Structure 1
Amino acid sequence: MKYTVIHILTLLLLPTVLWAQHTIKGTFSPAQDYEIALLYRVTPTVSEYITNAKINEDGSFEIKLDSTAKKGMYRLVYAIPQEDYNFDIIYNGEEDIELTFNSETGVEFQSSIENKLLTSYTNSMSMVTYSIGKFFSEQSTDTLALTKIFQTQKDTQKSYEETAKDYIVLEFIKANKPYIPEGFEDVKTYVNNLKKHYFDNVDFTNKTLQSSNFLEEKMLNYVFGMTIDSDDEIVNYKHNIDVVCKAMKEAPNEVKRILLVSLWQQMADLNFESVANYIAEHYLMDIAVELNDQELLNRLIQFSNVSVGKLAPDFSFEITQDGKNISKKLSEIEGFDKYIIVFWSSTCSHCLDEIPQLHAYIKNQENVKVIAIGLEDEPYNWKRLTYNYPEFIHVYGESKWDNEIGNDYAVTLTPTYFVLDKDKKIIAKPEDLEALKKVFDKN
């Protein structure tokens, strides 16, 4: 048998290729809660899907990485929504990775110098931080003891930086270096310096940090964890947001967008609408314009337009009056102390449960008018049901999720409620009927 040069070289290289393969394997527990693990390679702005592995009945899984797998940051997703159920993995292209994951305790690495170093560093520095907190909480006067704790913290940081030299994990260890006093500091001085120097070592332009959850976690910890001399929670959040945005000033707009959208969404989900709008108006809208991101810009504007305290977006509809169909606007309805706008659908099971209850409840409320907007693909079933609720003003929302009124009110699910005062200003956005009742019970 004759061999070509290419054939011979291929045979010689084959063992090297096989040798270069590495694995990510581990065990999830409790096993019955997991079905599949998806692996992504993460860059500052994009997560590239790599592969997936079935999670077996005993919770085990294994993912094989070939020689083309680039070193860097990877993310393992284990449930939906993906942005909430994942963890980062450092892969340097030279080692296998083995881990265990438990829903209560999180991820633990059995093998992988990179990832075990990061875990060890985090645990060691947490222990020192605990010692500092304990010293201050006990109001100890032993200044020498505190100075020794600070020295331990300094030595620990230096030791891990030296150990992690030439490893990817060094980027995280350096970025996580805390403020460390040179000597004794009282608690007030120490806390103020912690806040002042929180971002000293965090490089928002570092691509490795951008490709992980690190920057987002640092941002959230500062915004929600740091306090200023104010009893006003909203003032505190806005101040902290300004500090964070100053720290990330040199980062690319694409990175700022990712971080600030995450923070904006969290504030919106927590019903801190004024804070969410502050992020949008002072930072995110400008970024959206610079990136020509019209979708984000529209989303921010829509959210702001239907925030508590804003005048409800106006819209037109037809009503029957004196046997004639006439056109009316929300702004033209008068004579009521409060208004309820409810978006519902004849194909929504929750709506079919809550709308009859709402109709019955409103009969016992004085001077309240309900405008019920049916988001529908076709009118026939909706029209039939409207006769059951004669107390409501009914509006047909043609094209369901593409309906203009629904879009103006940023409606993404049904039923969705808005409570307005007599001037049509939004005073509440209850998440369900029970929450709506509480709004009226308070008054």
Structure 2
Amino acid sequence: MLSKLVALLMLLPSILLAQHSIKGVFSPAKDYEVVLLYKVTPTVSDYITNANVQKDGSFQFKLDASAPAGIYRVVYAVPQEDFNFDVIYNGKEDVTLTFNSETGISFKSSIENKLLASYTSSMSAITQSISNYFREDRKDTLALKAIFKTQRETQIRYEKQAVNTIALHFIKANKPYIPKKYEDVKTYVKNLKTHYFDNIDFNSKTLQSSSFLQERMLNYVFGISAEGKDNITNYKNNIDVFCNAIKTIPTSIKRILLVDLWQEMVDLRLEPVANHISKNYLLDIANQLKDKELVDALTRYNNLSIGHKAPDFSIVIEKDNKKETKKLSELKSAEKYIIVFWSSTCSHCLEEIPQLQKFIKSRAKDKLKVIAIGLEDDNKAWKEKIKSYPEFIHVLGLGKWDNKIGNDYGVTTTPTYFVLDKNKHILKKPEDIEVLKAVLGK
């Protein structure tokens, strides 16, 4: 027993030496409190640990000897998908860095991370030189060929330096299109677009485990333009090119990338583009993966797009002390309808609903009608509040966030507005009361 204990004690120094860390300093320190560390894989991010940010902005994650090499993600605020950065951990060295939300990340130690950062900086400087050449409309063809030569040699040099490192995956994937001879700006830009994805191994698990593929996807879709085409058409064409480039990767990875892209278009209110992604690519992927939640979300979004008929629901209308139940689709009392989802416990609603009332009072009764759907936990406060708005058609939506009408309309916040024409097609989805008034004021 004693011999075993002695052997264990002798092993302890080597075990401790095998431990490494990811540490750094955030600035300004007052903006940060806690940081989280995740090990990223192609499909999930596994939580590892967290650390408090000290008063001087410093933090440290200690990794045990069993921590696998790969891509690790440091999350420093919420939402996590927006406030994070990736680091390479090769299992052989500590990683030390500084981070500022304006200037970004700078690595103080870690051969791999510093190598990749140096490569990125060098290639960016060369790209800037090419941009300057064309912007200044220079005619010295030898000068441009010299820049291309420097770009080619720089790429080769860094690839050699990165042999047997994780960083090599990124350096090779970042390799740009480099002409072998002089090209005018029109030819060069065309070839940049044509060869944009040539050097990216979309099946690389290292790239799939980082934000690299998402960044390249977004850069291409939003950054590559075509002469004579509007943004919507251009985005759709770029998406088609990207989807062709990733056609051989696993369906689960396609889902991750295209959900990100779809959500980006949703956030930008680019419905035709979001529905293009859904109809041509993502809906099929969701069905293949039997992802009912995603299928429902895509279908609901499409059904609520401008020009589509609004989801139907029942309305109880009281007239001459008699109650009559009608469907939304059966209403014929106005040229336009405003559907507003609100709540008697929502402070924003209690500010905007009186403004809505004042606005519709200034319009002819047959021009505009409000259907106010109260998303409520119970009807007590709601019954009192609606007495102040006799001009509205009121609908009680019990269950609040789990109400069928609210769910059919994809409501996640109150107030939410929809403007319908007389045939109940969706005309607009104003963000707030001011936008609503501006839309209907026209």
Give the whole-Å Cα distance in 2 for the aligned partners of 1:229 and 1:280. 26
Cα root mean square deviation, aligned: 0.9
Give the whole-Å Cα distance in 1 for the aligned partners of 2:221 and 2:363. 41
Give the whole-Å Cα distance in 1 for the aligned partners of 2:161 and 2:385. 71
Q: Which amino acid aligns with 2:427?
A: I
Give the aligned partner of residue 417 of structure 1: 417
1:373 aligns with 2:397: no
The C-alpha deviation readout for 1:411-441, integer Å capped at 9, x for no partner, is: 0111100111122111111111111111112
Q: 1:154-303 maps to which residues of 2 (within 5 A)?
A: 154-303=152-301
Residue segments in structure 2 that go unaligned for 5+ positions in a row: none
Q: With structure 2 as the length reference, what TM-score do the two structures score?
A: 0.98
Give the whole-Å Cα distance in 2 for the aligned partners of 1:90 and 1:11. 32
Q: Which amino acid aligns with 1:257?
A: R
Name the count of aligned residue pairs.
440
Secondary structure at the counterpart of residue 219 of structure 1: helix
Q: 1:77-88 maps to which residues of 2 (within 5 A)?
A: 77-88=75-86
Q: 1:47 aligns with which of 40, 45, 48?
A: 45
Q: Which amino acid aligns with 1:286?
A: D
Q: Could you tell me whether the CA contact under 8 Å between 2:342 and 2:374 is conserved in 1?
A: yes
Secondary structure at the counterpart of residue 387 of structure 1: helix
Give the whole-Å Cα distance in 2 for the aligned partners of 1:88 and 1:8. 41
Give the aligned partner of residue 68 of structure 1: 66
Give the whole-Å Cα distance in 2 for the aligned partners of 1:354 and 1:145. 62
Q: Which amino acid aligns with 2:70?
A: G
Q: Which amino acid aligns with 1:82?
A: Q
Give the whole-Å Cα distance in 1 for the aligned partners of 2:176 and 2:131. 14
Give the whole-Å Cα distance in 1 for the aligned partners of 2:280 and 2:6. 64
Give the aligned partner of residue 353 of structure 1: 351
Deviation at 1:373, TM superposition (A): 0.3
Give the whole-Å Cα distance in 1 for the aligned partners of 2:351 and 2:18. 59
The C-alpha deviation readout for 1:344-367, integer Å capped at 9, x for no partner, is: 011111111111111111111231
Give the whole-Å Cα distance in 2 for the aligned partners of 1:89 and 1:77. 11
Q: Could you tell me whether the CA contact under 8 Å between 1:90 and 1:168 is conserved in 2?
A: yes
Give the aligned partner of residue 3 of structure 1: 2
Secondary structure at the counterpart of residue 347 of structure 1: coil
Give the aligned partner of residue 388 of structure 1: 388
Secondary structure at the counterpart of residue 132 of structure 2: helix
Give the aligned partner of residue 404 of structure 2: 404
Give the whole-Å Cα distance in 1 for the aligned partners of 2:205 and 2:409. 38
Deviation at 1:109, TM superposition (A): 0.8
Q: With structure 1 as the length reference, what TM-score do the two structures score?
A: 0.98
Give the whole-Å Cα distance in 2 for the aligned partners of 1:168 and 1:230. 41
Give the whole-Å Cα distance in 2 for the aligned partners of 1:437 and 1:118. 52
* Larger displacement relative to structure 2 (8-17 or 130-139): 8-17
1:128 aligns with 2:126: yes
Q: Which amino acid aligns with 1:416?
A: T
The C-alpha deviation readout for 1:257-281, integer Å capped at 9, x for no partner, is: 1110111001011010110011011
Deviation at 1:211, TM superposition (A): 0.3
Give the whole-Å Cα distance in 1 for the aligned partners of 2:402 and 2:204. 41
Give the whole-Å Cα distance in 1 for the aligned partners of 2:306 and 2:117. 43
Secondary structure at the counterpart of residue 411 of structure 2: coil
The C-alpha deviation readout for 1:320-379, integer Å capped at 9, x for no partner, is: 123122111111111312110000011111111111111111111231000000001101
Q: Could you tell me whether the CA contact under 8 Å between 1:72 and 1:208 is conserved in 2?
A: yes
Secondary structure at the counterpart of residue 284 of structure 1: helix
Q: Could you tell me whether the CA contact under 8 Å between 2:333 and 2:369 is conserved in 1?
A: no
Give the aligned partner of residue 309 of structure 2: 311
Give the whole-Å Cα distance in 1 for the aligned partners of 2:121 and 2:363. 57
Give the whole-Å Cα distance in 2 for the aligned partners of 1:299 and 1:365. 36
Deviation at 1:8, TM superposition (A): 3.5
Give the aligned partner of residue 137 of structure 1: 135
Q: Could you tell me whether the CA contact under 8 Å between 1:230 and 1:236 is conserved in 2?
A: no
Give the aligned partner of residue 341 of structure 1: 339
Q: Which amino acid aligns with 1:315?
A: F
Deviation at 1:14, TM superposition (A): 1.4
The C-alpha deviation readout for 1:154-180, integer Å capped at 9, x for no partner, is: 000000000011110000000010000
Secondary structure at the counterpart of residue 84 of structure 1: coil
Deviation at 1:141, TM superposition (A): 1.1
User: Percent of pairs identical after alignment?
Assistant: 62
Q: 1:102 aligns with which of 100, 117, 125?
A: 100
